[in-house]
Amino acid sequence: MSAEWDDGWWRDAARVPSPNFSARPAGARVDTVVLHSISLPPGEYGGDGIRRLFTNTLDWSAHPYFETIRGLEVSAHFVVRRDGSVLQFVSIADRAWHAGRSSWDGREAANDWSIGIELEGLEGDAFEPAQYAALERLLPAIDRVRAVRHVVGHEHVAPGRKIDPGPGFDWRELAARLHWDADRIPPAGPHGA
């Protein structure tokens, strides 16, 4: 790892360890980043629901929606808040539980070989400039230690099952900010943008 990293933890992120992770399979080639969107409750931003969900401390009775996800044990490596702040829940050396049943580029089980980044947002809504700026810092930092071949959405690795980050995410904006080859970032998600 580089000076930017401490045992798979990015030094520019606030560390919030999640118990929801496991070891990657031996020899896993971690070379893909999967972007997601999340808000808890749906459409509400700025609260601590995401942090509590990923750390198994969510009060299921605090909102009617939470009852529909009761007992869910999930995580992502990173969460990018609306203000551009970055939280890290799982070391990139480990497998976060973010993609579920998934496949991409001829490989099944994306959790084994990908890094999951949740963007605080809702499918169909626009994301904030501060979030694109955060990705502009985070993705190259990951690339320097993991040689990222693809940045895709949950909608790409689980089509028909997931639609995030959705049509509100601007893939062209991300590509323009990173100046990466076109084959590393899709021109749009399956739902547009």
Active-site annotation, residues: 118
* Interstrand relation of 78-80 and 86-88 (parallel, antiparallel or unpaired): antiparallel
- Cα–Cα distance measured from residue 12 to residue 147, given in angstroms and rounded to the nearest whole number: 19
The candidate with the shortest Cα–Cα distance to 146, out of 13, 17, 28, is 28
Beta bridge partners of 79: 87, 118
Can you list the alpha helix ranges (DSSP code H) found in the chain?
49-54, 64-68, 129-146, 154-157, 171-178
